[in-house]
Amino acid sequence: MTDIVKPDTRPGNTHFSSGPCSKRPGWSLDALADAPLGRSHRAKVGKAKLKQAIDLTREILNVPADYRIGIVPASDTGAVEMALWSLLGDRGVDMVAWESFGAGWVTDVVKQLKLKDVRKIEADYGVLPDLSTIDFDRDVVFTWNGTTSGVRVPNADFIPADRKGLTICDATSAAFAQDMDFSKLDVVTFSWQKVLGGEGGHGVIILSPRAVERLTTYVPAWPLPKIFRMTSGGKLIEGIFTGETINTPSMLCVEDYIDALLWAKSLGGLNALMARADANAKVIFDFVAEHNWIANLAVVDETRSNTSVCIKIVCKDVAALDAAAQADFAKGMVALLEKENVALDIGAYRDAPSGLRIWAGATIETADMKAVMPWLKWAFETQKAAVFKAAA
């Protein structure tokens, strides 16, 4: 058997995880030297740091001035749950899902909140559901970018401006990489551990004036845990949106987020971040187009994610294997790449179809993405030789 030659070039940064994601280029712990460690987050310096993070978020994401931005506990999950428990129940809700996280929100609304008037609008991995069937007179919950499927909505054109319900958007792998029209979105949530490579554990929630009106005029039928409460006595707790967090944040993580935001600003803001992600994703898309053993999980080109790029192995020999063996094949490729220390943490999400998931967000350098592509081919050929030699 002919030896399968390893590529000559290795990426300088091998971190292609889809969360927590790679730190920005040039990052070091020295960047966090100004963090007010050992100080209260309610002290003047702590509140100033939190407000700086909120103000920079507004600036980079182009959030309208009349939208509130708050830093909340428990990552994007906490932010989404806060929105679901605080806002839903006023009217019927359409739950739109095409991957595991969206499906999780469906489960929460149906089995935990036990709402009765729920419509599920769902699709399998790789495609969007029929967005034209959504009723925007109802509340609508959806993910902008399916982190575990690599399928995103291409734009917000499907959302009417004169909607009566609220749109609640989980944007955790879209924020800072994709252009979201805030005029069509009433609640936007994300965690900074994704596109900006921040540390885990903190979420961000962004509320439109319509969402604030709902919060101050509607009282859910169920009790709200303290960490979900955004109102008191029928009024919005404004401090949440100026730096007074509900619970104690890590000021080290906040400093890290500020560092990433300042880096983003130095590049040119949102347009520069989107351009970096687009360039990285294009490297993968071009590689997939040139090789017939691999394909993008997203069926329609305009719905392909530019951050969490999900790809599947479609070689006919591998496709002929049963599902467990196909999963083992992909895991074997992932293990080979990890052993060579060229691409770490790129296996498909546990609930998703087997394959690879490569993070292409703005903190990845395009040169590193280009360097890792030949290694994907090497890993495939090496794994194929090993599996089918063993089978023979």
Those residues with Cβ within 8 angstroms of residue 351's Cβ, 6 or more apart along the chain or in another chain: 100, 148
Average of per-residue pLDDT values in the chain: 97
Q: CATH number of the domain at 38-266, please?
A: 3.40.640.10
What is the pLDDT, as a whole number, of residue 151? 98
* Domain 269-391 grouped into CATH 3.90.1150.10: yes
Q: Where in the chain is the domain with CATH 3.40.640.10?
A: 38-266
Q: Distance (Å, rounded) from C-alpha 196 to C-alpha 191?
A: 9
For the chain, what is the largest distance between any 2 Cα atoms, rounded to a whole number of angstroms? 75
Dist. CA 113–CA 111, nearest whole Å: 6
Q: What pLDDT score was predicted for residue 392?
A: 62
pTM of the model: 0.97
- Between CA 358 and CA 342 the distance in angstroms is 12
What does the pLDDT look like over 27-58, one tens digit per residue? Answer: 999 999 999 999 999 999 999 999 999 999 99
Which of the residues in the chain have pLDDT under 50?
Answer: 1
Q: Phi and psi (nearest 5°) for 94?
A: -100, 120
The pLDDT, as a whole number, for residue 1 is 45
pLDDT of residue 3: 81
Span 57-110, pLDDT tens digits: 999 999 999 999 999 999 999 999 999 999 999 999 999 999 999 999 999 999
Position 220 scores a pLDDT of 97
The whole-angstrom separation of Cα 142 and Cα 140 is 7
- What CA–CA distance (Å, rounded) separates 67 from 384? 52
Domain with CATH 3.90.1150.10 in the chain: 269-391
Q: What is the pLDDT of residue 30?
A: 98
Euclidean distance between CA atoms 188 and 198, whole angstroms: 18
Q: Which two tokens stand for residue 294?
A: 């691999």
pLDDT given at position 346: 98
